[in-house]
């Protein structure tokens, strides 16, 4: 079925089934009107409370901490709807006497809590406590009692949070003070133990090591020379240099002259003299000289060795110090950091302790937020439920929908093809599409009957709409009255 | 004066008493065979009363389609008109098709009212018939004695006759088959249109479908479902050559409705 043919079909369906449509619609509308007038009435009592934030809160901002309005409201909402609070109010109103047993009491409490609404008007800075009940006097009395009871309890019961906070902070301050002292002591002890290391500069140490190494090297060279000298003395006597020179001279002369040359002969004589010495006296003198020289050299060697050992010790000590420096410094830094941390917390605790003291005083005197009952609940005159206008208008809309739904459902249940296009599925050609041919007389009769029927239906509908309009007018009147009341209250607050 | 003539004259008198509606002016011309002229008074005979209406035009389309379909392989002249459910308009469709065919110069039409349970063709044509098909089958009355010349072109009515208790037995009998065969062969140049009971409820329609050369199914908008139509077509041995979609309703607010234009274009029809 194409869209247009479908549309045409449903227009025709509607036109053909005017009567069932109208009957169903009017039946639903009538039910709506009956419902609007038979549903149990609910009255709403409302109390408006102004939540005033004292100027002292701004003055002590940063010094003292007062709970924000939001948390106050949260607390308010919870405590207002708490079982104990509602029980107290019911008790005061002697309502609990009317309830037979605990089960009934629980049921009543549960139902009552659901009917209480607490709303906060942020722009106006007020909150409203509302109760819906079938008894208007009970509703207003309950709301007023609940409001008064809450404010009384709120002002009489002091919040112990600040008190507890102050106490806690004092304890913590004591603890942290001890911890800081302990950290100080640990640092001092460490410094005294590792003072040398801490006082030593690693650059200086490195220089000292380098110098000692250099000196050690010089001493080693010197010792090697002395040991070489000692060896020569032991092997060749005290004049090994002269013999060598004589031999070198002889070799040179032999390269230039014959052995018979007097110069060569003289050189040979010198060499042999030096090699053999000259007599026993000379030998004796030479042996003692060698002994003296050897002793001298040995003394020098011992001295040099001593000096070498010393330099080695210096190097080892310096290196050990150099290795220890980072660890010692890190340990000291750790101790200092610990102490600093403790100090920061301690400082914060001390600062908070001051704030807490002021806050405690503020709480004790209840100077942060005060409640003022702006608008006590009055006994409501007009019920808020059922809203007849909405119920009637809703039933009108529902009636129209159900009317069309009914004829659509009937048509669907009846089945039947709705357009020639639907026959395409059968593979049988459609030879002709004969339009609906009305019987003129029957049509006229039907129209006449339709006119009468629709006139009655229109009259009935008009009555329903008149009822709805009358209710709308009364609602409008109520709204205007409520608006005027709110305006006067606001102007009263502003003027005050 | 024969009994048929008497009956027709009586019918005319009744029609005149009943104040015919818009139909009278369009009554067909007197036939040349000298029979009484039947003046149908029913507003549903649109091919006769308002030949320029959209509905009459659709019936002409149906006629053209039938002629084309039946003329494909020889002249298959026996056509059954049926529907799934009662009240879908098969009698009116058969009558209008018959009238439309009867206006053709080339064809004569025999309209057989085989709906022995609720015969209506004679009522639409304004004819009171005492004898008909049931008499031919039950009492062996010769069919020539029951045929009624309607005076609408070359349209002859074979009325249903008096009501019977056993229509299925009669229709399914060999007599009926022989009768159809006789009619077909006696008048080979004729269209024989058979108006039948609704196929969903009565078995005789299936017998008639087996006797006819082809079937046409009338479907009324919103009456039969697609499944029912398919089942009926299968029950008729799938010999349904076409469907007539009846009672298509137009959106009265739609500009597509051309009925008034046609009515306006034929003031003589509208005025009378």
Contact A344/B at CB under 8 A: no
Torsion of CA B60, B63, B68, B72, to 10 degrees: -170
CB-CB under 8 Å, B44 with A8 = no
Could you tell me how far CA A388 lies from the centroid of its own chain?
50
Distance CA B179, CA B143 (A): 8
Residue A360 tokens, joined? 């405690």
DSSP codes, B52-113: TSHHHHHHHHHHHHHHHHHTSSS---EEEEEESSTTSSHHHHHHHHHHHHHTSSS-EEEEEE
CB-CB under 8 Å, B225 with A423 = no
Higher pLDDT, B104 or A302: A302
Distance CA A321, CA A325 (A): 6
- Which of A9, A431, A439 faces B216 most closely, judged by CB atoms? A431
- Give the A:B interface size as CB pairs under 8 Å: 115
> Do B51 and B180 form a contact (C-beta atoms < 8 A)?
no
Does the pTM of the predicted model rise above 0.90?
A: no
Distance CA B40, CA A310 (A): 154
The residue of A2, A413, A434, A442 whose CB has the most chain B CBs within 10 angstroms, and thus the best one to mutate to test that interface, is A434
Distance CA A66, CA A348 (A): 18
Cα angle A414, A415, A419; round to 5: 130
Average pLDDT rounded to a whole number, residues A179-191? 90
pLDDT greater than 70 at residue A222: yes
pLDDT tens track, chain B, 272 positions? 455 556 555 655 554 444 333 333 333 333 334 354 455 556 678 888 888 888 899 999 999 999 888 876 666 789 999 999 999 999 999 999 999 999 887 788 999 999 999 999 988 888 887 889 999 999 888 888 899 988 888 899 999 998 888 899 999 999 999 999 988 887 767 899 999 999 998 999 999 999 999 999 999 998 899 999 999 999 998 889 999 999 988 777 765 554 554 444 444 443 33
Residues in chain A within 8 Å Cβ distance of B225: 415-417
- What is the SS3 assignment for A471? helix
Instruction: Tell me which residue of A134, A155, A131 sits closest to A144, measured CA to CA.
Output: A131
Nearest CA of chain A to the CA of B200: how many Å? Answer: 14
The chain B residues in contact with chain A (CB within 8 A) are 21-22, 43-44, 46, 54-55, 58-59, 61-62, 65-66, 89, 93, 216-217, 219-226, 228-230, 233, 240-254, 259
Nearest CA of chain B to the CA of A461: how many Å? Answer: 25
**pLDDT > 90 fraction of chain A, expressed in percent and rounded:** 19
Q: Check residue A429 and give its pLDDT.
A: 93
Instruction: Mention every residue, 6+ apart, whose C-beta is less than 8 A from residue B160.
Output: B113, B114, B115, B116, B119, B121, B122, B129, B132, B133, B134
Q: Check residue B144 and give its pLDDT.
A: 86
Instruction: Tell me which residue of B120, B118, B146, B149 sits closest to B133, measured CA to CA.
Output: B146
* pLDDT tens-digit series, residues A339-398: 898 899 898 888 888 877 777 776 666 555 577 788 888 888 888 888 888 888 899 999
Distance CA B68, CA A222 (A): 142
Q: Check residue B133 and give its pLDDT.
A: 94
- Which of B233, B245, B252 faces A430 most closely, judged by CB atoms? B245
Average pLDDT rounded to a whole number, residues A134-148? 89
Residues in chain A within 8 Å Cβ distance of B228: 415
Please name the residue ranges forming H helices in chain B. 3-17, 46-49, 54-70, 90-102, 121-125, 133-139, 143-146, 167-172, 174-186, 204-211, 226-235, 259-265, 267-271
Backbone angles phi, psi at B153, to 5 degrees: 55, -130
Distance CA B164, CA B170 (A): 9
Q: Check residue B271 and give its pLDDT.
A: 36
Distance CA B255, CA A4 (A): 12
A residues 428..467 contacting B (CB < 8 A) = 428-437, 439-441
Q: Check residue B237 and give its pLDDT.
A: 85
Nearest CA of chain A to the CA of B123: how many Å? Answer: 16
* pLDDT tens-digit series, residues A458-492: 999 999 888 888 877 776 666 667 667 666 766 66
Distance CA B81, CA A52 (A): 92
**C-beta neighbour count of A492 within 10 angstroms:** 11
3-state secondary structure A32-87: HHHHHHHCCCEEEEEEEEEEEECHHHHHCECCECCCCHHHHHHHHHHHHCCHHHHH
CB-CB under 8 Å, A429 with B61 = no
Could you tell me how far CA A8 lies from the centroid of its own chain?
63
- What is the SS3 assignment for A366? coil
CB-CB under 8 Å, A441 with B226 = no
**Most confident option among A51-55, A99-103, A282-286, B229-233:** B229-233
Q: Check residue A285 and give its pLDDT.
A: 59
This model of the complex carries an ipTM of: 0.80
Residue A484 tokens, joined? 């005027």
Q: How many residues does chain A have?
A: 496
Instruction: Mention every residue, 6+ apart, whose C-beta is less than 8 A from residue A185.
Output: none
**C-beta neighbour count of A428 within 10 angstroms:** 19
Q: Check residue A217 and give its pLDDT.
A: 92
CB-CB under 8 Å, B89 with A434 = yes
């Amino acid at each position: 079925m194409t869209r247009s043919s479908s549309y045409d079909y449903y227009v025709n369906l509607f036109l053909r089934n005017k009567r069932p449509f109208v009957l169903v619609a009017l039946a639903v509308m009538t039910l709506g009107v009956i419902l609007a007038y038979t549903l149990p009435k609910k009255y709403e009592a409302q109390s408006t409370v102004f939540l005033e934030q004292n100027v002292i809160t701004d003055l002590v901002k940063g010094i003292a901490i007062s709970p924000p309005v939001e948390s106050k409201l949260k607390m308010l909402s919870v405590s207002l709807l708490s079982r104990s609070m509602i029980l107290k109010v019911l008790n005061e109103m002697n309502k609990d006497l009317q309830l037979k047993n605990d089960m009934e009491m629980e049921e009543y409490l549960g139902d009552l809590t659901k009917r209480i609404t607490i709303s906060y008007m942020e722009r106006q800075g007020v909150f409203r406590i509302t109760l819906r009940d079938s008894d208007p006097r009970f509703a207003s009395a309950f709301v007023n009692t609940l409001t008064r009871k809450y404010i009384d309890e709120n002002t009489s019961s002091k919040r112990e949070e600040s008190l507890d906070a102050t106490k806690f902070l004092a304890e913590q301050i004591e603890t942290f003070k001890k911890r800081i002292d302990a950290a100080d002591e640990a640092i001092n002890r460490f410094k005294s133990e590792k003072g040398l290391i801490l006082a030593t500069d690693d650059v200086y140490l490195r220089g000292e090591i380098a110098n000692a190494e250099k000196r050690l090297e010089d001493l080693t060279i010197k010792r090697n020379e002395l040991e070489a000298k000692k060896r020569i003395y032991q092997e060749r006597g005290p004049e090994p240099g002269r013999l060598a020179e004589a031999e070198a001279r002889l070799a040179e002369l032999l390269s230039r002259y014959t052995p018979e040359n007097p110069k060569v002969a003289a050189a040979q004589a010198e060499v042999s003299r030096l090699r053999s010495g000259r007599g026993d006296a000379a030998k004796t003198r030479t042996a003692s000289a060698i002994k003296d020289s050897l002793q001298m050299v040995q003394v020098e060697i011992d001295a040099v060795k001593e000096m070498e050992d010393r330099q080695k010790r210096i190097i080892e000590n310096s290196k050990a110090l150099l290795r220890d420096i980072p660890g010692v410094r890190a340990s000291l830094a750790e101790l200092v950091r610990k102490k600093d941390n403790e100090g920061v917390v301690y400082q914060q605790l001390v600062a908070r302790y001051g704030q807490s003291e002021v806050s405690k005083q503020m709480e004790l005197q209840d100077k942060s937020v005060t409640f003022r009952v702006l608008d006590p609940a009055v006994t409501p005159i007009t019920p808020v439920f059922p809203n007849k206008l909405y119920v009637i208008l809703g039933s009108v809309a529902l009636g129209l929908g159900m009317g069309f739904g009914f004829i659509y459902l009937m048509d669907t249940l009846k089945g039947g093809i709705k357009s020639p296009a639907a026959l395409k599925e059968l593979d049988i050609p459609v030879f002709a599409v004969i339009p609906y041919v009305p019987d003129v007389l029957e049509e006229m009769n039907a129209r006449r009957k339709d006119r009468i029927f629709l006139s009655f239906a229109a009259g009935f509908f008009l009555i329903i709409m008149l009822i709805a309009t009358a209710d709308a007018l009364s609602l409008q009147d109520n709204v205007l009255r409520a608006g005027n009341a709110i305006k006067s209250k606001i102007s009263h607050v502003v003027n005050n | 004066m024969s009994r048929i003539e008497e009956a027709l004259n009586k019918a005319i008198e009744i029609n005149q008493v009943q104040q015919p509606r818009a139909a009278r002016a369009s009554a067909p011309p007197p036939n040349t065979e000298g029979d009484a002229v039947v003046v149908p008074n029913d507003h549903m005979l649109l091919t006769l009363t308002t030949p320029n209406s959209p509905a009459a035009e659709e019936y002409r389309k149906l006629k053209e389609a039938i002629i084309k379909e039946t003329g494909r392989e020889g002249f298959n002249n026996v056509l059954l008109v049926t529907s799934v459910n009662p009240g879908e308009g098969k009698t009116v469709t058969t009558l209008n098709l018959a009238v439309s065919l009867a206006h053709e110069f080339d064809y004569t039409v025999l309209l057989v009212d085989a709906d022995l349970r609720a015969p209506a063709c004679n009522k639409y044509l304004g004819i009171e018939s005492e004898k008909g098909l049931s008499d031919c089958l039950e009492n062996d009355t010769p069919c020539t004695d029951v045929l009624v010349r309607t005076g609408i072109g070359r349209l002859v009515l074979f009325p249903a006759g008096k009501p019977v208790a056993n229509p299925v037995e009669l229709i399914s009998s060999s007599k009926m088959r022989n009768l159809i065969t006789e009619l077909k062969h006696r008048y080979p140049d004729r269209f024989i249109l058979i108006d039948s009971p609704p196929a969903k409820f009565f078995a005789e329609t299936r017998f008639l479908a087996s006797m006819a050369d082809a079937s046409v199914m009338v479907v009324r908008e919103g009456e039969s479902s697609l499944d029912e139509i398919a089942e009926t077509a299968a029950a008729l041995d799938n010999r349904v050559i076409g469907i007539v979609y009846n009672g298509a309703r137009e959106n009265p607010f739609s500009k597509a409705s051309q009925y008034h234009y046609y009515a306006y274009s034929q003031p003589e029809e509208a005025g009378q």
